[in-house]
Structure formats: C-alpha cells, structure tokens
Amino acid sequence: MTALLTTYVEEYANNRLIDACGSIPDERILLKKLACSPQPPQNIATTPRHIRLHQLGSLATLHVPTEEGIKLATSIDFVLRQSYVHRRPDAPETWRRIYARDFLKPDSFSRPLVVSAFGLSGTGKSRAIERSLSLYDQVVVHENFPYMAGPFKQLVWLKVDVPGSGRSADLADQLMMWTDVALGTNYFEKDLQSSRRPGPALLRAWLQKASAHFLGVLVLDEVQNFFKLPTKKNRQKLGDARRREPLRIIDDETIKFILTLANTSRIAIVASGTPDGMAAFASRFSTAQRMTTGGFHKLLPMEGPEDRYYKRYLLPILFKYQWFDEKLPLSPELQELLYEKSAGIPRILMFLWTYAQRCALEREGRSISKGDFEQALRTYLAPVVPAVNALMSNDPNRILIYEDIMSSLEM
C-alpha cells in the first residue's frame, strides 16, 4: 500500500497517519462499500405477523448511494488525507506546534480543508456522511509511534451534532464527551462536570487534545443550529418568501472558533445542514469561501417519477423488501404515487414504504395495497403531509412556512 501511495501521491509517502486511512478508493469500490442492504424477508409463510412487524425495522439500515453521495465520500477521503500532509508525526515541528502556547497561530501551511453538504431535511445528508466515515476505523492504535513510549491512539474522525442551543459551551460538551468515548479516555471528566469555564476556553482545551491525537476530520452536523430560526408564526406573517428574515448567529464565539479551527488547525471539517444554514454561512463572503474549499455538495430531492436514481435503483431495491406472501409489483402508477406522496424526499419515501406495510399487517392483508399508503399518510405520517404538499406545490410562500425546506428554491 505504501509503495502504491509513493508512486501516485508523493506527498502521502511514509506518513503513518495517512497509511492508517487505508488505500485510496475509486468510485467502483466506494459504490460497493457505501451501499447497505439488510437481509430481504425470508420464511414469510411461517413468520407470525407480530414478528414481521418488527422485521420492518431493518429497512432503517437500507442505503442506496446516490451519485452525489459518492462524490461526497470522495471529498471526505481527499480532505482527510490532505489534513495529515503537513502533520507528520516524525517531524519535531509537528509536536512543537501541538504543544505551543499559541498553537492556533496561522503558519505558511495553514489552509482550510472544509467540505459542505447541504440539502433539505430527509435527503440523506447525515446518512451519506455516516456511510463515508464507516470506510475508516474511527481510532487506529499504533504500537510504535514517534516520540511515544507505548501504544498511541490516532483519532481519524469525529462526528457531533451541533447542539440546539448553538452555544460554544454546549458544543464543547459534545466534542469533549464524544472524544472521550471514542478514545476510551477521561480527559474531560472535570470539564464536563464543571460549569465555570467559558465556552471558548473549553473549545480550546478540546482542540489541543484532539490535535495531540491527530484528529483527521471533524464532522459538524445540523449546522443550522448555529443560527436563530424565525418562528413558524413569524414566517406565516411575512407571507412573501422574498421578505424572509435573515438568520441571526446565536453565539459569535462559536462561529469564530469554527473559522479559527478551519484556518489554523489543519484538521479537516465537514459541515452539514439544511439550506437555510448554508444561506446563513454564505451571508459572509469570507465564510462562504472557507466553507467550500474541500467541496460543496448539494443533496437534492429526486426530480420526478422518472428520476434516474429513483426509477432505476432505489425503487427496484425497495420493492424487494415486502413482508407478505403476495408481492406488490412495481408499476408506473405506483412509481408516480410514491413520488407524489413523498415529494422525492428519500427519508419520507422510506417511512411511507415501511408504514404502508405496517398498515397492511395490521389489517391482516396478504399484500400491500394502494389504500395502505393512504392510511399510512392519514395516521403515522400525518405530521409531514403539509410539508410534502408545500414542496409539491412549488409555491415559495407555502414552502417558507417550514423551516427545514424554506430555502429549497434558492439553493
């Protein structure tokens, strides 16, 4: 593997941090590794209804990669390896920088490595990122490591959700907790139990430990939580999408930390969230530049019943998962129905397929019927129906009401 890297990517050669990431995958390998297919239903005739109802839960693990999802995985792989190019553990300068008093000071090699993934809620951003991260061990133990007497743990990746408060202290709590969980350490036990230290100081303390364990890529999901969303009531009052209220930063210190992290730490960042979150980042041109240096990925709903991914890949695979003696055949009519009732949002489509089967099991049917989809929408999926109808209307004033989709026509 090392020889191959030396031949084709000279700057990756003889860097144990990069070697720990494995071979560089091509698109064919990515497609195979990113896909996740649970075992299709078996022995249906002898499996009781109440057991089949629980077996439906396996659909939650089904993942059919999109073309954009494969590109996103490629971007993550690129920034992960690039983040280690100028952090060679055998170089004394690397350790001097980690333990320097002002370790966040920019240097000649500092450049942001940031991947952005944005799209409507339910289009598969988080799942695509999680599948991409699954290609790597989160922690790699090196039995021998420069300037270390014993085994050393390399933290390849860390993923956290931005807390709903958007505040620096709460973000630090998440980062510290999940870093200790990943490494099996208690570095931050006292910090997590204390409420005295301010958020920026906690973030700095976390970053020094993360740098010391050579964190490769940090994933920040739900970045829209950095901003204060206008209430649904206020959005309804506006009545015109062109008058949409700009999102306001909740805690300036949190954004400052993210920008400093991107500019000086050499740790790669993946930022993920809804379109309104990206619009808020883009409100500052300098920030927008940093947020797309490693690649910008927009995960869209499926474009219509004839969408290539939807028609050729997702639906044929989905129809293999039917917990009934009589299988519902895939037809053009069903293809159009499922699209209209889900607005092309993969997560809603998966829920609709799952709960329609639950409805069929509850009525003791031998197959799924069209009525089961309608029943699922009236009951289990009732809260999402207004948002689906708004998306299908393509009316920006209706879309404006729903915070997760209100920027979809602009992105």
CA 169 to chain centre: 22
Say if 396 falls within a structural domain: no
Number of domains in the chain: 2
Mean pLDDT value across residues 77-95:
94
Mean pLDDT value across residues 61-68:
96
SS3 of the chain: CHHHHHHHCHHHCCCHHHHCCCCCCCHHHHHHHHCECCCCCCCHHHCCHHHHHHHHHHHHHCECCCHHHHHHHHHHHHHHHHHHHCCCCCCHHHHHHHCCCCCCCCCCCCCCCEEEEEECCCCCHHHHHHHHHCCCCCEEEECCCCCCCCCEEEECEEEEECCCCCCHHHHHHHHHHHHHHHHCCCCCHHHHHCCCCCHHHHHHHHHHHHHHCCCCEEEEECHHHHEECCCHHHHHHHCCHHHCCCCEECCHHHHHHHHHHHHHCCCEEEEEECHHHHHHHHCCHHHHHHCCCCEEEEECCCCCCCCHHHHHHHHHHHCCCCCCCCCCCCCHHHHHHHHHHHCCCHHHHHHHHHHHHHHHHHCCCCCCCHHHHHHHHHCCCHHHHHHHHHHHHCCHHHHCCCCCCCCCCCC
d(CA 382, CA 137): 40
Say if 406 falls within a structural domain: no
Same-domain status, 91 and 226: yes
d(CA 100, CA 94): 10
Mean pLDDT value across residues 279-305:
78
Range with the poorest average pLDDT among 88-92, 230-234, 276-280: 230-234
Tally of CB atoms within 10 A around 212: 15
Same-domain status, 111 and 151: yes
Q: Which domain holds residue 310?
A: 19-62+303-380
Task: Give me the pLDDT at residue 98, please.
Answer: 87
Q: Categorize the per-residue pLDDT at 280 as very low, low, confident or very high, splitting at 50, 70 and 90.
A: confident
Phi, psi of 326 (to 5 degrees): -100, 120
Task: Give me the pLDDT at residue 311, please.
Answer: 96
Phi, psi of 115 (to 5 degrees): -110, 135
pLDDT tens-digit readout, 347-387? 999 999 999 999 999 999 999 999 999 999 999 999 999 98
Same-domain status, 90 and 39: no
Indicate if the pLDDT at residue 238 is higher than 70.
Answer: no
Task: Give me the pLDDT at residue 230, please.
Answer: 62
d(CA 401, CA 411): 17
d(CA 295, CA 115): 5
Distances from the Cα of 408 to the Cαs of 27, 124, 378, 395, in angstroms?
28, 15, 26, 11
Task: Give me the pLDDT at residue 63, please.
Answer: 96
Task: Give me the pLDDT at residue 97, please.
Answer: 87
Indicate if the pLDDT at residue 232 is higher than 60.
Answer: no
Task: Give me the pLDDT at residue 347, please.
Answer: 94
Task: Give me the pLDDT at residue 7, please.
Answer: 47
Instruction: Quote the percentage of the chain above a pLDDT of 90.
Output: 67
Phi, psi of 292 (to 5 degrees): -130, 15
Mean pLDDT value across residues 286-315:
87
Same-domain status, 204 and 149: yes
Mean pLDDT value across residues 39-44:
94
Output the average pLDDT for the chain: 88
Say if 6 falls within a structural domain: no
Say if 409 falls within a structural domain: no
Mean pLDDT value across residues 24-37:
94
Q: What's the pTM value of the predicted model, to 2 decimals?
A: 0.90
Mean pLDDT value across residues 253-260:
88
Comparing 275 with 326, the larger pLDDT belongs to 326
Say if 244 falls within a structural domain: yes
d(CA 280, CA 249): 8
Same-domain status, 123 and 243: yes
Same-domain status, 117 and 170: yes
Same-domain status, 108 and 135: yes
Which residue among 299, 318, 335 closes a domain? 299
Task: Give me the pLDDT at residue 144, please.
Answer: 94
Say if 11 falls within a structural domain: no
Say if 335 falls within a structural domain: yes
Task: Give me the pLDDT at residue 410, please.
Answer: 40
Same-domain status, 204 and 293: yes
Same-domain status, 219 and 314: no
Comparing 69 with 6, the larger pLDDT belongs to 69
Mean pLDDT value across residues 23-44:
94
Same-domain status, 312 and 295: no
pLDDT tens-digit readout, 177-201? 999 999 999 999 988 887 778 999 9
Comparing 176 with 8, the larger pLDDT belongs to 176
Mean pLDDT value across residues 15-40:
94
Which residue among 230, 265, 299 closes a domain? 299
Tally of CB atoms within 10 A around 231: 11
Indicate if the pLDDT at residue 243 is higher than 90.
Answer: no
Task: Give me the pLDDT at residue 394, please.
Answer: 82
Tally of CB atoms within 10 A around 24: 17
Place of tokens 């499996």: 47
pLDDT tens-digit readout, 116-161? 999 888 899 999 999 999 999 999 999 999 999 889 999 999 999 9
Same-domain status, 120 and 259: yes
Same-domain status, 197 and 263: yes
**Tokens linked to 176:** 């510290």
Place of tokens 């219509």: 304
Say if 1 falls within a structural domain: no
Q: Categorize the per-residue pLDDT at 278 as very low, low, confident or very high, splitting at 50, 70 and 90.
A: confident
CATH of the domain at 82: 3.40.50
Task: Give me the pLDDT at residue 370, please.
Answer: 94
Instruction: Quote the percentage of the chain above a pLDDT of 70.
Output: 85
d(CA 60, CA 63): 8
Beta bridge pairs of residue 116: 271, 296
